[in-house]
Amino acid sequence: MLTDRVTIQYCLEQIARGFNSVQVNAGSVSLAHDASCFISVPELQVFLRASDDSLLSSMNDLWDCRDGPSDYGTRSKGCFKIEKPCPTLLGGITPGQLAECLPTKSIAGGFTRRVNFVYESDGSAKLPWPDKDKKINQVFVDDLLDMSTLKGEFTFTVAAAKVFEDYYIKDLSSEFDDEAMLSYNTTRWVHATKVAICLSAAKGPTMAIDKSDMETAIQLIDTCADDLNRVFRSVGDSELATVLDKVLRFVETKGYATRQMILAALYRDIGSTAMLDVILATLESGGMLIGKQAPSGQTVFKVSKLKVQQLAKGAVIQ
């Protein structure tokens, strides 16, 4: 496990050295040395900012888990040779921070289509007093240890193979998708397969993906994909991309907002009432916001849920 304020270069160096692991072969236990690891990055923006932008391409190859040795060159530490890498990355970041860390040109570069961005805004999963039952924690640890000893190829049942084939063949892209969505859709079937493998391993050592594993995995991946446009709304070549997203997210969170409410909350980002007029006019013209006059005479803005859903699904708006 790699944690704390790591950089991509540090990860490459550590993975090249390898990690000790326990493997079970034909009933016998043996020690092994492999390049599998879990990278925990609580602040993903620190990880991305502290890393050389050119190393993102190295991450692309690293995540593909190809057989055989792979060479990764760095500016200051030379070349690292990694044998059969298999990393997992878990991190947290806000859409605004993501826009600051990733240049627009990198969206279609491969890294973002290899990552599942799980966007959650309603806060329903908050748990102020989480269960600290040591027995439950130990069962969880034991399960993970058992899963870590699995070795070999996962297989599909006949019913699961049919579900996979249908999903693989299905055209999930639209010519009107933005770059982030278009890139992610090309490998959605890969993400679903990886999730199905995790679900199968969590149930037992059979290493067989059944129909329920595949269907559940597809449902989870499609949920992530539906919110992908919201994740990358603030990424764009326009100087207003970030502030447009902030205004939209503010109105989404409040349910409704007046000009005064928006300006009071985001005046540091907006700068002036004239700029707010431009922003509101842009969002209204694009159908993202709907403005209605209240009995008080003020204009109240609400987010067009239909428009947001249609954009998230790549629909064509006439």
User: Residues 71-106: pLDDT tens digits?
Assistant: 776 666 677 788 888 888 888 888 778 777 776 666
CATH architecture of 241-312: Orthogonal Bundle (1.10)
User: Residues 248-274: pLDDT tens digits?
Assistant: 889 988 888 999 999 999 988 898 999
Which of 318, 295, 293 is closest to 307 using CA atoms? 318
Q: What is the pLDDT of residue 17?
A: 83
- Calculate the average pLDDT of the chain: 80
Entry pTM: 0.71
Whole-angstrom CA distances from 11 to 42, 58, 59 are: 15, 11, 10
Q: Could you state, in order of their start, the residue ranges of all structural domains in the chain?
A: 1-92, 127-237, 241-312
Over residues 292-299, the mean pLDDT reads 86
At residue 126 the predicted structure's pLDDT band, cuts being 50, 70 and 90, is confident
At residue 152 the predicted structure's pLDDT band, cuts being 50, 70 and 90, is confident
At residue 47 the predicted structure's pLDDT band, cuts being 50, 70 and 90, is confident
Widest distance between CA atoms in the chain: 78
